Structure 1
Amino acid sequence: MSDRYIDFVNSDIGRRLVGAVGLPSPARLERWQPGRLRPVEGALLLGGGALASTVAGFANKLTSEVYVQGVSESPLPAWTAGLGPKLKALVFDASGLADPAELKALREFFQPLMKSLARSAHIVILGRAPQTLSDPQAHITQRALEGFSRSLAKELRNGGTAQLLYVDPAAEDQLEGALRFFLSPKSAFISGQVLHLGACGDQVQDWTRPLAGRKALVTGAARGIGAAIAETLARDGAELLLVDVPQAEGDLHALAARLGGRALGLDICATDAAQRLIEALPEGVDIVVHNAGITRDKTLANMTPEYWDAVLAVNLQAPQQLTQRLLESGTLGDAARVILLSSTSGLAGNRGQANYAASKAGLVGLAQAWAARLAERGGSINAVAPGFIETHMTAKMPFALREAGRRLSSLGQGGQPQDVAEAVAWLAQPGSGAVNGQALRVCGQSFLGA
């Protein structure tokens, strides 16, 4: 659905009017387009500690324009505020900061360049997970990065985003994959997020088709976000089995035919659902995306047992039971990637959605509870929590609620199904096993929840 306000404020007359009266002016976000060759199209600036040198070792794979700030011994050209090009991407290594007094390095690096950012600029700050540090001062300092990075993300304009990645020493070889995602338009609607990268033995062999040779199962795939996920996984080389309810088989089979995949009409709550999936996957499966979900909204005072039970069964119990059966039967392969579609409602709560929010929060719990179990086999399980996404469902919302959902975020707009799909596709990559048991919000840094 078109966002007419976005269209207006990005027109010539709209820019003049909103500037004159002080209305918010969200930028049209830059998203990944077919045929694009590099993650960053523009200048990348590196700064901070030793991890910046690690990034410099592969930075030419990200973009042809790489700089360091000010005068240094680096062979890379220096960037100076007011003289250098507009910055499309930034990586600052704060992992060596071990005392609160050293946090001034953040201001010293970022303050001079805040007015030199290009449209849709992407910033990544690197740190060390506080819980892994024995020195209390270092723990405090690294934890402070979360408040800084989230505040920085809220100060960015023109579609800019900022993330914090805590990187274990054993995970430094997975930095390229993470930066290929977070510095690129694939992460256009993700901002203010904090993720922890741990050790992962797998590597992407072909960045143009990072999922080549991988078999993927997507539930709720017939339309909307599910269809976008299927399209993106296919773009990245995955072989697809698409699942949706029998009533949606027409759309499901058409999508599968277009993507060269297979379709299976199936009620995931049926007693034989797991067995039918196992039979449909004789060669096993490497990627499982639990996207199927329903809403049955009522305030708790008016919630019927039928509404409660239906939502918990589809959204939470079925993903748990199906994943367990796929795992126990050996259908879910080693180094598998399981992605659960949660929601910001599950993180923040939402009036009239106690059943839905409970089910989506439960999926985050499922990722946390099963992370170690999957890791034993080289696998991972994570949740993706979309915020307001422009779909046929949100198009039917009352105007005031729809506008509130769009504007109550740092990016000031709703996301697209592609935004969710890109996050799922990244978490499905071999190297993304570095992320495990975590929840990634795709919400434009929504003001709702943590």
Structure 2
Amino acid sequence: MTDKYTAFVSRGWGRDLAKRLGLPQPVALRRYAADERLPGPALVVGSGPSAQALADALEGWGVEVRRDGADDGGASPEAGSDGARRPKLGAIILVLDDVEGPEGLSAPVLAAGRALRSLAACGRVVTVSRRASAADEPSLAAARQGVEGILRSLAKELRSGSTANGILLAEGVGADAPSVLGALRFLLSGRSAFVDGQFLTVGTDGGALPLDPDRPLAGKVAVVTGAARGIGASIARTLGRDGAKVVAVDVPAAGESLARVANEVHGTALQLDITRTDAGERILEHAVGRHGRLDIVVHNAGITRDKLLANMDAAKWDSVIAVNIAAQLRINDALLASDHFGDGAHIVSVSSTSGIAGNRGQTNYAASKAGVVGMVRSTAARLAARGGTVNAVAPGFIETEMTAKIPFATREVARRLNSLQQGGLPVDVAEAIAFLASDAAGGISGNVLRVCGQNLVGQ
């Protein structure tokens, strides 16, 4: 769906008019391309061993790295020692994992702040810090939790399509752990275009970086439910692009569209109502019978039956719960009971910002999507025993056939009420899912990653 407003204010007299009137001026976001590069060098702020490890990793990826130890006065990156003007920064990585109290935040954070004016359009800011814990000393917990407030506020200050996100390290996880580097690569890339003001927690040293960053799912077999259209079809295409063999699943009524998607990604189609009690067994039978294994399951299928709670009937309530959460629970039970869903398997479920913040007229939908969050957090420990992960992605306003039916004025407001001042695309959700389904995210489990451009109210 075309965002005509963004096109209008992006050039010519429309851009000038928006500037004079103080109207939102969203820009075209930097999204994934096979040959993509950061739009400039990366500035690493921090003086400890973690900062050096991340700088070394970036240089290994072919990124030009600048250093600012945050204890040298934070020299401006805009001009070199010869007075020549330097190119804009593509990213600022702020390493704060060794901060011990709130006072220690000042020097590195302000050094990064001085560099913000040099950040290129669609640049990235990424913090790397430790996760706060109730077991921490109060001063340490305050500093660690303070990073979250800094990052979320900074994300709302950035403009021109730039984003700010954070990586939280559990105790014992080093900055050079595979999933830390995998998360950093994802957050710096165009794959994270509509992820803003969010954190990924790396809980273990698990995971493995792909040999080919452009085909991180090569050799994997992935099931995607609700794959016939919209976000589901985009997920199937993205997983296929990344090298996975895709089993596209949807209801028999969507069979023709489902076959088109499966053919497009050179996968197979399975017509199945996921609310069947044997849906999990049917999925396993198809995947193993056709492809010999099953590595990834993406629970995308979902429905809405919106009504104010005062007008809600049992049919609308029960149907949403049945499709959006009860089916996932049964399928997961079948997967975890099977030897075919083995070591290193990944489950990714689609939640919604409605399940986090609520939405008028969606008590049934919000219950189901909040239920997905609870399910993911509880299932993480069960999958950890076999080296697997389970995570959720929570989309915000995404340009789909469903959102196209929202009345014009309401739709425009919904589009602009995030830090990026525009709606996301189905591929933005798909990119986040593809990362969480990869071995590079093997140390990330029980997370809920919002793909919402950072709503302006709340998180």
Counterpart Cα distance in 2 of 1:245 and 1:350:
27
Q: Which amino acid in structure 1 is aligned with residue 352 of structure 2?
A: S
Counterpart in 1 of 2:222? 216
Q: Secondary structure at the match of 1:177?
A: helix
Counterpart in 2 of 1:137? 139
Counterpart Cα distance in 1 of 2:352 and 2:278:
27
Counterpart Cα distance in 2 of 1:96 and 1:119:
30
Does the 8 Å contact 2:39/2:89 carry over to 1?
A: no
Task: Give the direction of change, closer, same or farther, for the CA distance of 1:210–1:327 in structure 2 (3 Å limit).
Answer: same
Q: Secondary structure at the match of 2:216?
A: coil
Counterpart Cα distance in 1 of 2:337 and 2:174:
29
Q: Which amino acid in structure 1 is aligned with residue 322 of structure 2?
A: A
Counterpart in 2 of 1:440? 449
Counterpart Cα distance in 2 of 1:378 and 1:393:
37
Q: CA RMSD in A?
A: 1.8
Counterpart in 1 of 2:30? 30
Equivalences for residues 7-406 of structure 1 within 5 A: 7-33=7-33, 35-38=34-37, 40-48=38-46, 49-69=48-68, 80-82=77-79, 83-131=85-133, 134-168=136-170, 169-172=172-175, 173-174=177-178, 175-206=180-211, 207-282=213-288, 283-406=292-415
Q: Secondary structure at the match of 1:332?
A: coil
Q: Which amino acid in structure 1 is aligned with residue 52 of structure 2?
A: S
**Which runs of no fewer than 5 residues in structure 2 stay unpaired?**
80-84
Q: Which amino acid in structure 1 is aligned with residue 188 of structure 2?
A: L
Task: Give the direction of change, closer, same or farther, for the CA distance of 1:65–1:432 in structure 2 (3 Å limit).
Answer: same
Q: Given the two structures, how large is their TM-score scaled by the length of structure 1?
A: 0.95
Q: Which amino acid in structure 1 is aligned with residue 154 of structure 2?
A: L
Q: Secondary structure at the match of 1:30?
A: coil
Does the 8 Å contact 2:219/2:243 carry over to 1?
A: yes
Does the 8 Å contact 1:62/1:180 carry over to 2?
A: no
Task: Give the direction of change, closer, same or farther, for the CA distance of 1:251–1:61 in structure 2 (3 Å limit).
Answer: farther
Q: Which amino acid in structure 2 is aligned with residue 167 of structure 1?
A: L
Q: Secondary structure at the match of 2:283?
A: helix
Pairwise CA distance, 1:108: 2.2
Counterpart Cα distance in 2 of 1:70 and 1:100:
18
Q: Which amino acid in structure 1 is aligned with residue 206 of structure 2?
A: G
Counterpart Cα distance in 1 of 2:331 and 2:205:
25
Q: Secondary structure at the match of 1:424?
A: helix
Does the 8 Å contact 2:167/2:200 carry over to 1?
A: yes
Counterpart Cα distance in 1 of 2:413 and 2:131:
34
Deviation track 1:228-271 (CA, whole Å, cap 9, x = no partner) reads 11111111111111100101111111111121101001000123
Pairwise CA distance, 1:448: 4.7
**Which runs of no fewer than 5 residues in structure 1 stay unpaired?**
none
Q: Secondary structure at the match of 1:340?
A: strand
Q: Which moved more, 1:350-359 or 1:195-204?
A: 195-204
Task: Give the direction of change, closer, same or farther, for the CA distance of 1:153–1:71 in structure 2 (3 Å limit).
Answer: closer
Deviation track 1:364-402 (CA, whole Å, cap 9, x = no partner) reads 000011111111110111110000000111111111221
Does the 8 Å contact 1:50/1:93 carry over to 2?
A: no
Q: Which moved more, 1:394-403 or 1:384-393?
A: 394-403
Pairwise CA distance, 1:441: 0.1
Does the 8 Å contact 1:44/1:63 carry over to 2?
A: no
Q: Which amino acid in structure 1 is aligned with residue 270 of structure 2?
A: L
Pairwise CA distance, 1:42: 2.0
Pairwise CA distance, 1:202: 2.9
Does the 8 Å contact 1:200/1:431 carry over to 2?
A: no
Counterpart in 2 of 1:2? 2
Q: Which amino acid in structure 2 is aligned with residue 81 of structure 1?
A: E
Counterpart Cα distance in 2 of 1:191 and 1:432:
18
Pairwise CA distance, 1:157: 0.5
Pairwise CA distance, 1:284: 3.1
Pairwise CA distance, 1:409: 0.5
Does the 8 Å contact 1:70/1:80 carry over to 2?
A: no
Q: Which amino acid in structure 2 is aligned with residue 53 of structure 1?
A: Q
